[in-house]
A = this chain, B = another copy of it.
Amino acid sequence: MKGVLLSRNPDLQIVDITHSIRPQDIRHGAIVVDDVCHRFPPRTIHVVVVDPGVGTQREVVFAKLGAQRYVAPNNGLLTLAALRTPPDLIVAVTNRLYFLPEVAPTFHGRDIMAPTAAHISLGLHPERLGPRLDSLISIPAIDAVAEPTRILGRVLQIDSFGNVVTNISAQQWSLVPTGLPVRVCCNSHEVTEIVATYGQRPPGTIVALLGSSGRLEVAEVNGNAAARLGITEDQEVTVTW
């Protein structure tokens, strides 16, 4: 993909975000897109490929979300980013003029998305890529539910440090009344040490905190909470007070 990008536009600056999305895991990709892409300069083009449906009827899309631009399969990868910043423009990428001459049915990242993104970077108007679409495909809601006396959530992902990242948002977490004892429960473990950062407790302590991407996390200070507590993705997380 990098070779194709540079062959079409040698002046491109290519930046790697990650090559560690779990294979086929659209939700994992959607979380990273949401956390990271809005930090880039305006008019960055994000080429995002987590693509289990490659070669089937699923579309490739160009989407403009505020100042950021995306070329991606239309499979839900942009769900969370589009909740943060609603799309200004969505176009189905169908114009073969901008594809590689031969398109392998198993690698649209290389043969469709990379050359299309390169043409956009050269100033091609996105509406030349294909017909406008009204909306993006979304993956099912991954929001937590705030009730009067508790918040019901789930484990969204285990990060590379073993921190347990939940789908409970900063806004939901702010609903917890101050001054009361709070319990964060997951996989039969109960966490009562609520902190602002890892280093506020000794190594080995299990803590709960609001993480840097604005989600409630369970972490082990200088350790791997997921491994220690046997927590895996999708498990239920309950906050009570």
A24 lies within 8 A of chain B by Cβ: yes
A95 at interface, CB cutoff 8 A: no
Q: How far is B209's CA from A2's CA once the two chains are assembled, in angstroms?
A: 25
Q: Are A7 and B41 in contact (CB under 8 A)?
A: yes
Residue from A3, A44, A160, A211 whose CB has the most chain B CB atoms within 10 Å: A3
Q: For the complex, is A110 an interface residue (Cβ under 8 Å from B)?
A: yes
CB distance from A167 to the nearest CB of B (A): 18
Query: Which residues 1-43 of A have a CB within 8 angstroms of B?
Result: 2-4, 6-7, 10, 14-17, 23-24, 36-41
Interface size on A, residues (CB 8 A): 44
Query: Which 3 A-B residue pairs are closest in the complex by CB-CB distance?
Result: A55-B197, A3-B39, A107-B212
- Partner-B contacts on A (CB < 8 A): 2-4, 6-7, 10, 14-17, 23-24, 36-41, 44, 52-56, 58, 104-107, 110-111, 160-162, 196-200, 209, 211-212, 222, 224
Q: Copy number in this complex?
A: 3
Inter-chain contacts of A54 with B (CB < 8 A): 197-199
A7: B residues at CB distance < 8 A? 39-41
Q: Evaluate contact between A10 and B110: CB separation under 8 angstroms.
A: no
Interchain Cβ contacts under 8 Å between A and B, 30 examples: A2-B17, A3-B36, A3-B37, A3-B39, A3-B41, A4-B39, A6-B40, A6-B44, A7-B40, A14-B15, A16-B16, A23-B160, A23-B161, A23-B224, A24-B161, A52-B198, A53-B199, A54-B197, A54-B198, A55-B199, A55-B200, A56-B199, A104-B212, A105-B209, A106-B198, A106-B209, A106-B211, A107-B212, A110-B212, A111-B212
List, in ascending order, chain B residues with CB within 8 A of A198's CB: 52, 54-55, 106
A54 to B163, CA, bound (A): 15
A107 to B36, CA, bound (A): 13
Q: Which residues of B contact A55 (CB under 8 A)?
A: 196-200
